[in-house]
Amino acid sequence: MTTRTEPARSPSPGTAPAGRRSHVPGDGSATAAAVEAARKGMLHDARDLKRTRIGADVLCEALLRQGVDVFFSYPGGVILPLYDVLGDYPELRHVLVRHEQGGAHAADGYARVTGRVGVCMGTSGPGATNLVTGIGTALLDSVPMVAITGNVPSALIGKDAFQEIDINGITLPMTKHNYLVRDADDLPRVIAEAFHIARSGRPGPVHVDITKDALQQETRAEHPSEAEVVAGLPGFRPNLGGHTRQLKTAAGEIAAAQRPVILAGHGVLHAEAWDDLRAFAEKTSIPVAWTLLGIGAMDETHPLAYGYMGMHGWKHVNRAIQSADLLIAIGMRFDDRVTGNVRTYAPYARIIHVDIDPTEIGKNVAVEVPIVGDAGRVLRALAPMVPETSMDDRRAYLDQLADWRRDSEASSWHGSGAWREGVLSADYVVQRIGELTDHQATYVADVGQNQMWLARYAGFRNPNSHVSSGGLGTMGFSVPAAMGAALGRPDRETWAITGDGGFQMTFQELMTLVADHIPVKIALLDNKKLGMIRQWQEIIYAGNYHSSSLPGPDFVKLADAFGIPAFRARTPGDVDDVIRSAQAVDGPALIWFEIAEEQNVFPMMPAGKGLSDLIEKWDGPDE
């Protein structure tokens, strides 16, 4: 450890800029020595700090070098050295969240709509543990994120100091990598590595813990180039291009297949490979199904776009998978919500599995053709190797899929038109939000029924326009993630679609929306229930409703208390008016949709069952 002592603290008002506080706690002005040091070149580019450059400056410089324009944070004791210098970096927008979990989800939402690394911060102890849910959410959904926490001074580490917790130990199994920095000289390298790791290969969260003394320590350490960063990480060499022999095998499988289906996942979005996917599908006339996180990889109006798969996916899509003779899985991981019982999954299909992470291949299902690589690169390499096949060549197959789709859409609750009889149905609300925003907004789901309704009925046209906590299933995700998504893509309207349960977990961020003028429109689908829990209790637990009824407050009054215009809808006839009213608000707005209390999401595949065992409606237990 090379923590240096602070420069002598003789006050010298003549050399300190008037009104400028020093970074040194308890010191009223910059010292002559510090100013001298600054003049000798301890500057960030042309920035003349008129004081010593400390670890906290290095952190700000590193964030700017990484192209960070906004981050989400909450101050606390040991991260105060950062807050002491933040004023010198006005181009780094700091959003003061109301809870660190909100900050982590906001960074996540920002990352998902921009494809860039989201940044959140917190102090030691509770600040750090509050970030953990957000870090876990990012890990399970492979979202590039750098989470930074302060920690107690090095000398106090391991002493159970005030607000000390072994946050490195906590985040170890739930990050791609993590760091503890005790020396400011290490900061430039560590921050650069953290961003490189977070966004390269399969993206994911990286946690950097920095001791208070490192943040305060004077340093001249220089920032590494990207080449130096790569050279310094000999154990991190993501494999991007597919193996030629496997690509040839895959091309042969595709040429021979009669009933192929493409399964598009989040990896297509991470690789920004949506054009490659569409071109590949068009050349081969293979229909495309998508996972929850693969929504947006294909414009849903495209003739080859077939639909959303899995536990609450469309029956026709699951049917196509169950009858397929070839699955071309791209950037997805055969999650249990996608496959159900693996033994009965796609029983007739051979599988080509493209994923950038070799651990995903052969993890959940055995595959015939493994291809490790970036979705875009593999699709571009594969496209010239496969024969051109027109939709007419596949006419009989595609006609059958079209029949199945008509049948499945007509048989859903949505197709039944229940909302026309005066019941305010959630799927109708979601459908109208999609239509009245011309399908051009960013739509951020919470978790549970609202998430499934959104995935099924909003109608997605654009990549990175759907944000959803798929892997971890984090209730309370929607409002804070929408906050980050709105800042990441201010050119789009941002809608948070949430239920009354998730909303009540993180609605403190309403105040952040107001304070920072972040124009998120919140559609609160209130069935006064934990709807998905209630649905499971009804269907799987014989109607034993325990703790799934959830009385809530008057949400219009609640929003009003935050200064957010709020609207209330109770019947289908109210829906268009309230959506248009919310859109007309310059800033955040909330709509309280009092939806049918006992509406279920169908079809539904009970956990442990297979894709062919969908429940399509429920009239009570079989007797």
Partner 1 sequence: MTADPNSNGRLPVADATTPRATTPAPSHAPPTRALPGSGEVRRHVLVAVVLDKPGVLNRVSSLMRARNFNIDSLAVSHTDRPDVSRMTITLHGDDVAVEQAAKQLYRLIDVLKVQDVTSEPTVEHELALVKVRATDGNRAEILQLVELSRGRVVDLAEGSVVVEVTGTEAEIDAFVALVRNYGIKELVRTGAVVMARGSGSIEEAIKR
For the CB of residue 456, give the shortest distance to partner 1 in the complex, in Å. 19
**Near partner 1 in 67-106, by CB under 8 A:** none
Does 337 interact with partner 1 (rule: CB under 8 A)?
Answer: no
Token pair of 444 as six digits: 């951020």
Query: Residue by residue, what is the 3-state secondary structure of 93-108?
Result: EEEECCCHHHHHHHHH
Torsion angle defined by CA atoms of residues 185, 189, 194 and 197, in that order, rounded to the nearest 10 degrees: -160
Does 8 interact with partner 1 (rule: CB under 8 A)?
Answer: no
Active-site positions? 100, 162-163, 212, 532
Cβ–Cβ < 8 Å for 205, 135:
yes
DSSP output for 470-508: -SS--TT-HHHHHHHHHHH-TTS-EEEEEEHHHHHHHGG
For the CB of residue 212, give the shortest distance to partner 1 in the complex, in Å. 19
Examine residue 603 and say whether the peptide bond preceding it is cis (omega within 30 degrees of 0). yes
Q: Among 73-81, 250-258, 352-360, 413-421, which window interacts with partner 1 (CB under 8 A)?
A: 352-360
Cβ–Cβ < 8 Å for 180, 206:
no
For the CB of residue 321, give the shortest distance to partner 1 in the complex, in Å. 12
Q: Which of 1, 96, 255, 366 binds partner 1 (CB under 8 A)?
A: 366
Q: Which of 14, 41, 90, 235 binds partner 1 (CB under 8 A)?
A: 235
Token pair of 70 as six digits: 């906004």
For the CB of residue 236, give the shortest distance to partner 1 in the complex, in Å. 5
- As beta bridge partners, residue 121 has 148
Does 335 interact with partner 1 (rule: CB under 8 A)?
Answer: no
Q: Is 565 helix (H, G, I), strand (E, B) or coil?
A: coil
Nearer Cβ to partner 1, position 402 or 540?
A: 540
Does 363 interact with partner 1 (rule: CB under 8 A)?
Answer: yes
Q: Give the list of residues 6+ apart from residue 420 with CB closer than 8 angstroms, or none.
A: 572
Q: Give the integer Cα–Cα distance in Å for 148 and 12.
A: 34
Does 40 interact with partner 1 (rule: CB under 8 A)?
Answer: no
Q: Which of 12, 15, 344, 508 binds partner 1 (CB under 8 A)?
A: 344
Interface map 542-571 toward partner 1 (x if CB under 8 A): x-x-xx------------------------
Does 325 interact with partner 1 (rule: CB under 8 A)?
Answer: no
**Near partner 1 in 151-180, by CB under 8 A:** 168-169, 172-173, 176-177
Does 365 interact with partner 1 (rule: CB under 8 A)?
Answer: yes
Cβ–Cβ < 8 Å for 373, 354:
yes
Q: Among 272-280, 285-293, 419-427, 607-615, which window interacts with partner 1 (CB under 8 A)?
A: 607-615
In 176-307, alpha helices (H): 187-199, 212-216, 226-231, 244-256, 266-270, 274-284
Does 146 interact with partner 1 (rule: CB under 8 A)?
Answer: no
> What is the contact surface with partner 1 in residues (CB under 8 A)?
168-169, 172-173, 176-177, 197, 233-237, 322, 342-348, 357-359, 362-366, 540-542, 544, 546-547, 606-608, 612-616, 621-622
